[in-house]
Amino acid sequence: MKVKVCGMKYPQNIRDLEGLHPDYMGFIFYPPSPRYVGEDTELKTFLPSISIKKVGVFVNAAYEEIIKIRTDFSLDMVQLHGNEPIALCTQLKQQGIPVIKAFSISSPADFLDTKEYVDVCDYFLFDTKTPQYGGSGLKFDWQILQAYTYHVPFFLSGGIALSDVEEIKKIAHPQLVAIDVNSRFETSPATKNINQLQQFIQEIKQLNTY
């Protein structure tokens, strides 16, 4: 099982996390977020030295903006966390950019929203449905994951903490490939608790994907 740590921002914290070897780091380019990266010039020059796959997280951003930020910050992948159209996913895929499309989940019916995206996304990400775009720190009922039957592999997100490891072990879904964490591992917005993440990453990486 892979691990994505989202909402990274500060160079030393990023470097410390790199030493734990997560599979992905997420960087948020959504101005209302307390973890918004902005136009951080230090980060632009720092990120190329990071060996972990870097994911840019966007919410209803224009194609041109995504492309510019991807270049400026040396991003490997793009995560679309808003109401982005299929056409945008297609454009990004045509540029050879791996796409993660997030969907807000509260009931089995919500998985129907993924149907039109199955051919234009590399991964889906299932987060808890709330009025905001992610970052709620809340979980949804993971039992309803069994209602997802498409072939696109997915990341599980939404309020996941160190105390959830045992429950994660019980999820038996063939398309679950990664766990996405953020606020439950923070000492303050965008500053991650490295000790907690070390334990979490070690335990999650021992799990087999199906």
The residues carrying an active-site annotation are: 6, 127
DSSP-assigned letter for residue 209: P
Contact yes or no for 183/158 (Cβ under 8 A): no
Is residue 173 left, alpha or beta, with left meaning phi > 0 and alpha meaning psi from -120 to 50?
Answer: beta
Q: What's the rounded Cα separation, in Å, for the pair 25 and 23?
A: 7
Contact yes or no for 197/185 (Cβ under 8 A): yes
Q: What's the rounded Cα separation, in Å, for the pair 34 and 62?
A: 21
